């Protein structure tokens, strides 16, 4: 595996005790690097959801790019499907999707659900797989993919229609604006009959 990844034996020995520790250690560092850079970024707390998600993708890909041949030869193993790396990616995405500073509370009724985190995790793994095979100059195709994906996800996650819709529904119920209180079952539920 070391030879396939193009890593010198001395470099490998300096960082890991045995080959079994190699895969998890390298991939775990990529997520740690994102956390460190996000924490060190001036005014990161003022970033929008879109800016934070873009930072996550670009920092993750930059970290993986440091050993691109290694990633190309090892990613499609258990790393992509069942690993601490995958779990850490999901945890970071969950933190982004449920951050009160950038995701409206009403939207968190959806973005806080496990399936949403899992779908975005699967999409993230697919982005990494795309990046692995991207031979365009500077991986421009991956950059375009990330930009479009981040824009789309940000639109969904920060969509103001959920909050507006809940506000409208609450107003309708409070004031019986649709006359639903006249219906026997609904009227009893609303306490009007």
* DSSP per-residue codes, 107-142: THHHHTSHHHHHHHHHHHHHHHHHHHH--SGGGHHH
Which of 10, 63, 14, 12 has its CA nearest to residue 34?
Answer: 63
Q: What is the pLDDT of residue 169?
A: 79
- The number of beta carbons lying within 10 Å of the beta carbon of residue 140 is 10
The helix (H) or strand (E) run that includes residue 68 is helix 68-74
CA-CA distance, 131 to 124, in Å (whole number)?
Answer: 11
The pair of structure tokens assigned to 126 is 């697919």
Q: What is the gyration radius of the CA atoms in the chain, in angstroms?
A: 23
* Cα separations in angstroms, 74 against 4, 5, 61, 78: 9, 8, 15, 9
Contacts of 134 (CB under 8 A, 6+ apart): 140, 141, 142
Percent of the chain that is helix, strand, coil (3-state, to 5): 75, 0, 25
- List the pLDDT tens digit at each of the 193 positions of the chain: 667 667 787 877 777 676 666 666 778 888 899 999 999 999 999 999 999 999 999 999 999 999 898 888 888 877 777 778 889 999 999 999 999 999 988 888 888 888 999 999 999 999 999 999 999 999 999 999 999 999 999 999 998 777 787 788 778 777 777 776 667 776 666 665 4
Residue carrying structure tokens 């850490």: 88
Which of 58, 73, 61 has its CA nearest to residue 131?
Answer: 61
Give the residue extent of every domain in the chain. Answer: 2-159, 160-193
Instruction: Tell me, yes or no, if the pTM score tops 0.85.
Output: no
Residues 53, 111, 148, 125, CA torsion sign:
positive
Q: Which CATH superfamily is domain 2-159 in?
A: Tetracycline Repressor, domain 2 (1.10.357.10)
CA-CA distance, 155 to 49, in Å (whole number)?
Answer: 10
What angle, 0 to 180 degrees and rounded to 10, lies between the N-to-C axes of helices 84-97 and 22-40?
20
């Amino acid at each position: 595996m070391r030879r396939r990844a193009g890593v010198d034996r001395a470099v490998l020995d300096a960082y890991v005790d045995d080959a079994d520790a190699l895969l998890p250690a390298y991939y775990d560092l990529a997520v740690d690097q994102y956390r460190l850079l996000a924490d060190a970024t001036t005014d990161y707390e003022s970033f929008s959801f879109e800016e934070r998600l873009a930072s996550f993708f670009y920092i993750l890909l930059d970290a993986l790019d440091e050993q691109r041949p290694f990633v190309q030869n090892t990613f499609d193993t258990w790393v992509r499907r069942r690993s601490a790396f995958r779990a850490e990616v999901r945890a970071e995405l969950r933190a982004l999707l449920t951050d009160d500073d950038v995701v409206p509370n009403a939207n968190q009724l959806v973005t806080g659900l496990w399936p949403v985190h899992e779908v975005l995790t699967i999409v993230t793994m697919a982005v990494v797989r795309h990046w692995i095979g991207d031979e365009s100059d500077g991986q421009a195709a991956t950059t375009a993919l990330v930009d479009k994906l981040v824009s789309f996800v940000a639109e969904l996650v920060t969509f103001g229609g959920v909050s507006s819709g809940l506000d409208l529904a609450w107003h309708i119920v409070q004031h019986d604006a649709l006359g639903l209180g006249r219906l026997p079952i609904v009227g009893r539920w609303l306490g009007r009959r």
